[in-house]
Amino acid sequence: MTASLPKTLFLLLKTARPRQWVKNLSLFAALLFSGFLFYNPVDALPYFWTVALATLTFTLVTSAIYIANDLVDKKADAQHPFKRKRPIASGELSTEVAKLAVFSLLILAGFFSLYFSLFFKLLVLLYILLQIGYSKIFKHVPILDVASIALGFLIRIYAGSVVVNLHMSVWFLLTVISASLFLAVGKRQSERTLLMGNSSESIGSTRKILKRYSERLLDQYTAMFATATWLTYAIFTFQNEVIVPQSEFATIFRLLPKTLHTQKWLMISVPFVIFGVMRYLQLVYEKNQGESPERVLFNDKPLLITVFLFGLSVIFALYLLA
C-alpha cells in the first residue's frame, strides 16, 4: 500500500460515502409509522434493534456498492469537475485495496443477514442486482435511471418491514415512491445546472443521460413528483388507523372546542411535509443544491429543523396519544 493504514482507512471511509448512510434509515419507516417502534416481543429482539441490525447490514452492502461503483467509473469520474477528487479517481486509493474492501464488506453483510429470513436475504440480493443494473444499464436510460433510484428506496422500506413482519399501507408506499422520484429528479436538475455553469465541461460530457433531459422536462417532472409527495402522504395520514387519545393527553383534548376535535392526529405532520417539499424546491432552483440530498439535509438548517419537527409530530401522534 502506498498510503499508511490510518490514511487508507480514512480514504475507504470517504469512498463508502458516510453521508449516504442516512438513506438506510428508511428501513425504520414502516416500523415508525406502524406504532411498534418500542415493541418488545417475548421470544425475539426488540423490534427497534432488529431493524437496527438490518439497517447495519444494508449500510455494509451500500458501502461496498459505492466503492465498487467508483472502481467501475474511475475513468469517467476522472473527467468530472467534482468527482475527480474522489480517492479512487484521483489515485489516492489503490484499486487493489478497494477491491479487498468490497469483498470484506459483502462477506460481513452476509454474516449479519444469517439472522434474518430468506425474504430479507432476497431483498438484499435484489438491491445488489439493481445497483449492478443501474451502473451498467439503467443510469444511461432516461426515466429508468430515476425509477431505479426510487426502487432502491422501496426495497429498503420492504426490507425494514419484512424483518419484523409488518404490513404497509398502499398510500405509504406511494409516498415513498413519489418522494424518492422527487429527490432523484431534483438531483438530475442540479447536476444539469452545475455542469452548465462549469466553463470547462458541457452537458453530457460527464453524464450522458443529462442530454436526454431538457430543462423544461425536468421542471415538469419536479412539479409532478413534488405534488405527489405531499398529497399521497396527506392521504396516508387520513387513511391511517384511528387514534383515540388514551393517555394523560386525553384530558387536555377534552378541553378543546369540538372544532378542533379529530381522530386523525397524524395529519398534524402534513404541514411539515409540505414545507419540507417547498424548501427543497427552493434549494434546488435557487441554490442548485439538489445534487446531493443527504448533504442538503445536514447543511440546511431550516430543512433539518423541519425534519426534526416532523419526527416529533409523528411520535406525538402515534406514541404519546395512544
pLDDT band at 177 (very low <50, low <70, confident <90, very high): very high
Confidence of residue 196 (pLDDT cuts 50, 70, 90): low
The most confident of 103-107, 184-188, 203-207, by mean pLDDT? 103-107
pLDDT at 81: 66
**List of long-range contacts for 27-30, beta carbons under 8 Å, 24+ apart:** 27/51, 27/54, 27/55, 27/58, 27/156, 27/157, 27/159, 27/160, 28/55, 28/160, 29/157, 29/160, 29/172, 29/176, 30/157, 30/160, 30/161, 30/164, 30/166, 30/168, 30/172
Q: What is the mean pLDDT of residues 181-192?
A: 82
The residue assigned the cell 484499486 is 95
Residue 278: predicted pLDDT: 93
Q: Tell me what the pLDDT averaged over the chain comes to.
A: 83
Percent of the chain scored above 70 by pLDDT? 83
pLDDT at 1: 43
How many other CB atoms sit within 10 Å of the CB of residue 23? 20
Set out the domains of the chain in order of their start, with CATH numbers.
1-168 (1.10.357.140), 169-322 (no CATH)
- Cα atoms in the 13 Å half-sphere on the side-chain side of 78: 10
Distance CA 148, CA 25 (A): 18
pLDDT band with cut points at 50, 70 and 90 for residue 256: low
Q: How far apart are CA 36 and CA 51, in angstroms?
A: 11
Neighbours of 108 (CB within 10 A): 16
Q: Does pLDDT of 203 surpass 60?
A: no
pLDDT at res. 28: 94
Please return the burial class of 279, using the count of CB atoms within 10 Å of its CB with bins 0-12, 13-18 and 19+. Answer: middle
Q: Is the pLDDT of residue 291 over 70?
A: no
The arithmetic mean of pLDDT across residues 17-34, rounded, is 90
Q: How far apart are CA 95 and CA 101, in angstroms?
A: 10
Taking a C-beta distance cutoff of 8 angstroms, is the pair 210, 192 a contact?
Answer: yes
Average pLDDT over residues 176-192: 85
pLDDT reported for residue 198: 52
Confidence band of 294 (pLDDT split at 50, 70, 90): confident
Q: Is the pTM of this model over 0.75?
A: yes
